A = this chain, B = another copy of it.
Amino acid sequence: MLRRSRAVWIAGVLLVIAAASLPAWAAGPADPLPSWRDGPARRSILRFVSAVTKPGSPDFVPPAERIATFDNDGTLMAEKPYHFQLHFVAERIRELAPQHPEWKEEQPFKAVLEGNVPVIADIALPDLEKLVLAASAGTSEKEYTEAIERFLVHAENPELGFPFTKTVYRPMLELLAYLRARGFKIFICSAAGPEMIRTFSEKVYGIARENVIGSDMMMRFELEGKEPMLMREPRFVPPTNDRGGKPINIERTLGRSPILAFGNSDGDIEMLEFTAYSGRPHLGLLLRHDDAEREYAYDEGAEQAFAQAPARGWIVVGMKESFRRVFSTPLPRP
- A219 to B247 alpha-carbon distance, docked (Å): 10
Q: Smallest distance from the beta carbon of A284 to chain B beta carbons, Å?
A: 11
- A244 to B64 alpha-carbon distance, docked (Å): 31
Q: Which residues of B contact A212 (CB under 8 A)?
A: 255
Of B141, B239, B255, which is within 8 A of A209 by CB? B255
**Chain A 277-317 interface 0/1 with B at a Cβ cutoff of 8 Å (1 = within):** 10000000000000000000000000000000000100000
**Chain A 215-240 interface 0/1 with B at a Cβ cutoff of 8 Å (1 = within):** 01011111100111010000001110
Closest residue on chain B to residue A248 by CB atoms: B219
Q: Which residues of B contact A238 (CB under 8 A)?
A: 218, 237-238
Q: Which residues of B contact A202 (CB under 8 A)?
A: 64
Q: List 8 A-B contacts (CB under 8 A).
A: A185-B210, A194-B252, A209-B255, A221-B248, A223-B273, A226-B312, A228-B274, A237-B238
Given contacts A273-B228, A276-B227, A277-B228, contact A252 B221 (CB under 8 A): no
Is A247's CB under 8 angstroms from B218's CB?
Answer: no
Q: Smallest distance from the beta carbon of A244 to chain B beta carbons, Å?
A: 4
Residues of A that sit less than 8 Å from B by CB: 64, 141, 185, 194-195, 198, 202, 208-210, 212, 216, 218-223, 226-228, 230, 237-239, 244-245, 247-248, 251-256, 270, 273-274, 276-277, 312
- A64 to B206 alpha-carbon distance, docked (Å): 12
Q: How many copies does the complex hold?
A: 2
Given contacts A228-B276, A273-B228, A276-B228, contact A210 B247 (CB under 8 A): no
- A219 to B210 alpha-carbon distance, docked (Å): 22
- A253 to B249 alpha-carbon distance, docked (Å): 10
Q: Smallest distance from the beta carbon of A276 to chain B beta carbons, Å?
A: 6
Is A255's CB under 8 angstroms from B195's CB?
Answer: yes
Q: Smallest distance from the beta carbon of A207 to chain B beta carbons, Å?
A: 11
- A228 to B280 alpha-carbon distance, docked (Å): 13
Q: Which residues of B contact A270 (CB under 8 A)?
A: 221, 228
Closest 7 interchain pairs by CB?
A221-B244, A209-B255, A210-B254, A198-B255, A216-B252, A219-B248, A228-B277
Is A276's CB under 8 angstroms from B185's CB?
Answer: no
- A218 to B273 alpha-carbon distance, docked (Å): 19
